[in-house]
Amino acid sequence: MNKILCTICARGGSKGVKNKNIKELSGKPLIAHTIEQAKNSKLFEHIVISTDSDDIAKISKEYGAEVFFKRDATMASDTAGKIDVIKDAFKRSEEYYNTKFDYLIDLDATAPLRDMEDIINSFEQFIKNDNDNLITAMPSRRSPYFNLVEQDSGGKVYLSKTLDSTIVRRQDVPKSYDMNASIYIWKREIILNENSLFLDNTGLYVMPEERSIDIDTELDYKFVEFLIKEKNA
């Protein structure tokens, strides 16, 4: 039987939305939505929180997650890399539980609109395709080949990506996706030895836009709260 570790990384110093990870959303702290999804998936023996905040730790425990370490300050700064933080939690968990996990699934607390089925189905796809790691995304609203532009230091404006042939319809360009910061999956040897999300054998699990909002601003928060209320109505 596969041993799958779930990590949820949530630092206390959010800037876009103050105390974002524990701010109430539809009757419960934001992080509680992700903890409950992880529990309901029945995939995990351990759901581990990586945080530098005593308040986040306390609330996470109340909702059934495990907090056995406090994240180092160097791992809680604005410059700390996401993969480094997740890798740190994975290594600490293997040492603490004295076990080797086969897989790691990291769930972002700021993406509460995912369904429990997204966790299960993305892992099943990951196993079926024998990926090394997997990321989740939604179809992009803007295409880098058609209407996503850049501007260089000299002021010249140009399409982000071009093709050899002229494109006159957005429907004709290659498919592109926006990462939604919802679910990340790794094989053990990959999370321990790689430092990039984009590998030769990275899988992509596509989710609809209505389950893909990552809360980074107060406006995002309002959108998510509206969608949850609409779903529960």
Domain of 196?
4-138+177-232
Q: What is the pLDDT of residue 170?
A: 65
Q: Which of 72-76, 145-149, 228-232 has the lowest mean pLDDT?
A: 72-76
pLDDT in tens, 53-92: 999 999 999 999 999 999 987 776 666 688 999 999 999 9
Q: b/e map of 29-56 (b: 16 or more CB within 10 Å)? A: bbbbbbbbbbbebebbebbbbbbbbeeb
151 and 73 in one domain? no
- For a pLDDT cut of 70, what percent of the chain falls above it? 95
Do 124 and 228 fall into the same domain? Answer: yes
- CATH number where 226 lies: 3.90.550.10
pLDDT tens per residue, range 205-215: 999 999 999 99
**165 token code pair:** 């042939």
70 plus 146 within the same structural domain: no
Predicted confidence (pLDDT) per residue in 158-201, tens digit: 888 887 777 666 677 788 999 999 999 999 999 999 999 999 99
Of 126, 158, 175, which closes a domain? Answer: 175
Same domain as 192, residue 82: yes
pTM of the full structure: 0.92
Task: Verify that 79 and 92 share a domain, yes or no.
Answer: yes
Phi and psi, residue 232, nearest 5°:
-85, -10
Query: 69 and 153: one domain?
Result: no
Tell whether 35 and 97 lie within a shared domain: yes
